[in-house]
């Protein structure tokens, strides 16, 4: 805590390195297969150290997981609500939100599956996340809701609850990344095809969501 930040470059480098490598390896594996199906020995093997070292740095599998999961879940949720496009027309703002949310998942394509799976399997994990982002989410939602209501009143958007709109956006975005590995396999795509598939779908989702709002 109150110790020196860095003493000798090399040593701290090495130590931080293995600690960091373990964290990153764990993140990758958890995103692929979830908490229960990743073993500590697998993390250690892929990180290139002994199994006990994972415990040395992170004590238990659960604390290691939580650290990764909570940070990711926060990004997932708050990514949906961070909008700094005030002044722009509603449709443009919404389009940007959808695209940002989509891109965030494209950078971590295992995330939507991990979040829903872990929250389904361990509902007690919901509380921590709710506490972390609940406030922020509610206030951002409030602001956006005012905007939506104004659009509806002006007759530019059909009557719809904010919840349904968000649910639609998240469904389209998240399910795409949840199912993407399956499609990729079924259609036997190479990485370039996958990339173009993702980009096309992003466009379609924005179009679909915006179109569905017309009065």
Partner DNA sequence: ATTATCTATAGATCTATAGATAATGC
* Residues in touch with DNA (CB under 7 A): 3-4, 7-8, 10-12, 14-15, 18-19, 38-42, 49-53, 55-56, 59-62
Binding its own copies (rule: CB under 8 A), the pick from 40, 98, 157, 178 is 178
Partner whose binding site includes residue 196, from DNA, its own copies, none (CB under 5 to 8 Å by kind): none
Q: Which of 38, 62, 76 is nearest to 178 (CA)?
A: 76
* Residue whose CB is less far from its own copies, 13 or 161: 161
**Tokens (6 digits) for 159:** 């009557």
Stretch that binds its own copies, among 13-21, 45-53, 98-106, 117-125 (CB under 8 A): 117-125
Q: According to the binding rule CB under 8 A, does residue 37 interact with its own copies?
A: yes
Can you say how many angstroms the Cα of residue 71 is from the centroid of all Cα atoms in its chain? 9
Q: Rg (Cα) of the chain, in Å, rounded? A: 21
Instruction: Please answer whether residues 164 and 141 qualify as being in contact, where contact means their C-beta atoms are separated by less than 8 angstroms.
Output: no
Per-position x/- string for 141-170, each x denoting binding to its own copies as judged by CB under 8 A, each - no binding:
-----------------x-x---x--xx-x
Site for its own copies, rule CB under 8 A? 33, 36-37, 113, 116-117, 119-121, 123, 126, 130, 158, 160, 164, 167-168, 170-172, 174-176, 178-179, 181-182, 185-186, 201, 204, 208-209, 211-214
């Amino acid at each position: 805590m109150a110790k020196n930040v860095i003493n000798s470059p090399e040593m701290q480098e090495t130590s931080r390195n293995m600690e960091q490598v373990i964290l990153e390896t764990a993140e990758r594996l958890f995103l692929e297969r979830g908490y229960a199906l990743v073993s500590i020995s697998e993390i250690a093997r892929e990180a290139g150290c002994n199994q006990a070292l994972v415990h040395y740095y992170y004590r238990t599998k659960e604390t290691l997981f939580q650290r990764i999961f909570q940070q990711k879940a926060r990004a997932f949720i708050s990514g949906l609500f961070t909008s700094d496009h005030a002044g722009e027309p509603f449709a443009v703002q919404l389009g940007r939100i959808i695209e940002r949310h989509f891109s965030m998942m494209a950078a971590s394509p295992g995330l939507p599956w991990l979040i829903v799976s872990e929250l389904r399997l361990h509902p007690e994990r919901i509380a921590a996340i709710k506490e972390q982002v609940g406030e922020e989410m509610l206030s951002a939602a409030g602001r956006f809701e005012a905007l939506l209501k104004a659009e509806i009143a002006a007759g530019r958007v059909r009557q719809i609850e904010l919840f349904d709109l968000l649910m639609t956006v998240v469904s389209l975005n998240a399910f795409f990344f949840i199912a993407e590995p399956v499609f990729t396999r079924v259609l036997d795509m190479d990485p370039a095809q996958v990339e173009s598939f993702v980009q096309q779908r992003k466009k379609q989702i924005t179009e679909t969501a915006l179109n569905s709002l017309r009065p």
